[in-house]
Amino acid sequence: MSLKYIPVQAFNINIDRVVEDLKDHGVVVLVTARTHAIQIAAQASGQLGIDVDDEEGAFLQHLSFEVDDRGWEDCLMYSESADYQPDELHKITIHAIRDWIAGGEKDYHVCKTRT
CATH number for the domain harbouring residue 81:
3.30.110
**Residue 99 carries which side chain, given as an amino acid letter?**
D
**Residue pLDDT, tens place only, 7-56:** 999 999 999 999 999 999 999 999 999 999 999 999 999 999 998 788 88
pLDDT band at 113 (very low <50, low <70, confident <90, very high): confident
pTM: 0.93
**Residue pLDDT, tens place only, 57-99:** 999 999 999 998 889 999 999 999 999 999 999 999 999 999 9
Residue 114 has pLDDT above 90, yes or no: no
Q: What are phi and psi of 78, to 5 degrees?
A: -100, 120
Residue 11 confidence (pLDDT): 93
Distance CA 56, CA 1 (A): 28
Distance CA 7, CA 100 (A): 9
Distance CA 113, CA 10 (A): 19
Residue 80 near residue 23 (C-beta atoms within 8 A)? yes
H helix intervals, 49-108: 86-102
Residue 91 confidence (pLDDT): 94
Range of the domain at 28: 3-114
Closest CA to 65 of 42, 44, 94, 37: 94
Distance CA 64, CA 108 (A): 19
Q: How many domains does the chain have?
A: 1
